[in-house]
Amino acid sequence: MTVTTPRPGAGRRDRIDELAARAGQLSDGDGGESLLRSAVRRLRRNPVAILGAVIVVAFLLVALFAPLLAPRDPYAQSLLSEVRQGSIPGSRDGYLLGVDQLGRDVLSRLLYGSRQSLLIGVVSTVLGAVLGMALGILAGGLGGKVDTVVMRFVDILLSIPGLLMAISISVLLGASQLSLMIAIAVTQVPVFARLLRGSMLVQRDSDYALAARALGVRRRRIVFGHVLPNSLSPVIVQATLSLATAIIEAAALSFLGLGDPDISRPEWGAMLASAQSVLSIRPELAIYPALCIIVVALGFTLLGEALREALDPKFRR
């Protein structure tokens, strides 16, 4: 689909494991500077990070201030009377990107659409991350049989391609915005679980965890007070990357009619879907939302990859 979606099966697992293992070397520290500070310093020097951050910040601002930015009401079919068979009004005064086949201002709908993407992306990623991390902590913190059982389950989930699973769950739960978010969250769960568990295993073997054990600190405290905080950086990276995946999956599901049943609500995936019927007359109607999806997903991906690099000791100077 895009660079952000790991391929199902072994490749996907390996990628997660690599991310977890690399981040594990983090706490070896570099003596003087704090880890966070050196990461921020490297982020600011990285043009890829800056490009990603600019896109993400712009997207966030647009989503937050869409009502102020949008020139028109995204629901108003103000130019419906001018829509004819075979002709939809294009760009004109007050309608920068023209209108859709129902006479609604395309620019306003695109701006408002960002809110849906952000909402679905954030809610499903947070939900997926929380559930996945709970499983990861269970497996990585307790180890032993719990670990084996949890990870077996997680690996089964991982072996199912994400979009396929999301579609199945959406179909099962019925088309609604909530089921869409749940479906996307479920696809994120195994990724976060495996990632956090792998990262915790590395930290559990660390010197400071051994030193804490040598001082008789109890396991619960070691897991939550020491191991977990040091295992979070790959999770943060993954959350950034997952936002991109979630936005794409949300658009894909809406496109397939598995999103919000209220199709008048501005949403990029749904806009893409409805543009299909007029593709021959006004292909821009499909191109605009597609571009939005791609650019925003790209922004999160660039930022995520840059974060990963910044937090990766291998790239340290």
Partner 1 sequence: MTGTSGSPVLEVDDLAVQFTRRGEQPTRAVDGVSFSVAPGETIGLVGESGCGKSVTSLAIMGLLPQRGVQVTGSVRLDGTELLGAGPRTLRTLRGKDMAMVFQDPLSSLNPTVTVGTQVTEVLAEHRDMTGRAAQDEATELLDRVGIPDPRRRLGEYPHQLSGGMRQRALIAMALACSPRLLIADEPTTALDVTIQAQILELLRELVQGSGTALVMITHDLGVVAGLCDRVHVMYAGRVIETADRRPLFATPRHPYTGGLLGSVPRLDTGRGTPLTPIRGSARDTIPWSQGCAFAPRCDNAEDDCLTEVSGSTVPLEADGLRRELRCRHPLHATPAAAGAPAGATAASSAGASAGSPSTGSSSWSSSEGQQS
Whether 285 and 41 have beta carbons less than 8 Å apart is answered as no
The most distant pair of C-alpha atoms in the chain lies apart, rounded to whole Å, by: 79
Main-chain phi, psi angles of 212, to 5 degrees? -65, -40
Does residue 15 bind partner 1 (CB under 8 A)? no
Does residue 199 bind partner 1 (CB under 8 A)? no
| 171/217 with CB nearer partner 1 | 217
| 115/213 with CB nearer partner 1 | 213
Site residue total, partner 1 (CB under 8 A): 25
**Interacting residues with partner 1 between 211 and 250 (CB under 8 A):** 211-218, 221, 225-226, 229-230
* Piece of the chain touching partner 1 by CB under 8 A; list 52-60, 78-86, 88-96, 210-218: 210-218
Report, in Å, the least distance between residue 134 CB and partner 1: 21
Nearest to 136 by CA among 182, 181, 188: 188
Q: Residue 87: helix, strand or coil by DSSP?
A: strand
Nearest to 293 by CA among 126, 118, 161: 118
| 27/114 with CB nearer partner 1 | 27
| 180/195 with CB nearer partner 1 | 195
Whether 266 and 112 have beta carbons less than 8 Å apart is answered as yes
Q: How far is the C-alpha of 311 from the C-alpha of 305, rounded, in Å?
A: 10
* Piece of the chain touching partner 1 by CB under 8 A; list 205-213, 237-245, 265-273, 294-302: 205-213
Whether 56 and 303 have beta carbons less than 8 Å apart is answered as yes
| 30/82 with CB nearer partner 1 | 30
Report, in Å, the least distance between residue 293 CB and partner 1: 36
Whether 199 and 234 have beta carbons less than 8 Å apart is answered as yes
Q: How far is the C-alpha of 123 from the C-alpha of 150, rounded, in Å?
A: 24
Q: How far is the C-alpha of 317 from the C-alpha of 314, rounded, in Å?
A: 9
| 182/235 with CB nearer partner 1 | 235
Does residue 208 bind partner 1 (CB under 8 A)? yes
**Interacting residues with partner 1 between 22 and 41 (CB under 8 A):** 27-29, 31-35
Read off the tokens for 278. Answer: 């007029």
Read off the tokens for 59. Answer: 């997207």
Report, in Å, the least distance between residue 33 CB and partner 1: 7
| 212/275 with CB nearer partner 1 | 212
Whether 277 and 220 have beta carbons less than 8 Å apart is answered as no
Report, in Å, the least distance between residue 113 CB and partner 1: 39
Report, in Å, the least distance between residue 212 CB and partner 1: 7
Q: Residue 5: helix, strand or coil by DSSP?
A: coil
**Where do contacts with partner 1 occur on this chain (CB under 8 A)?**
27-29, 31-35, 206-208, 210-218, 221, 225-226, 229-230
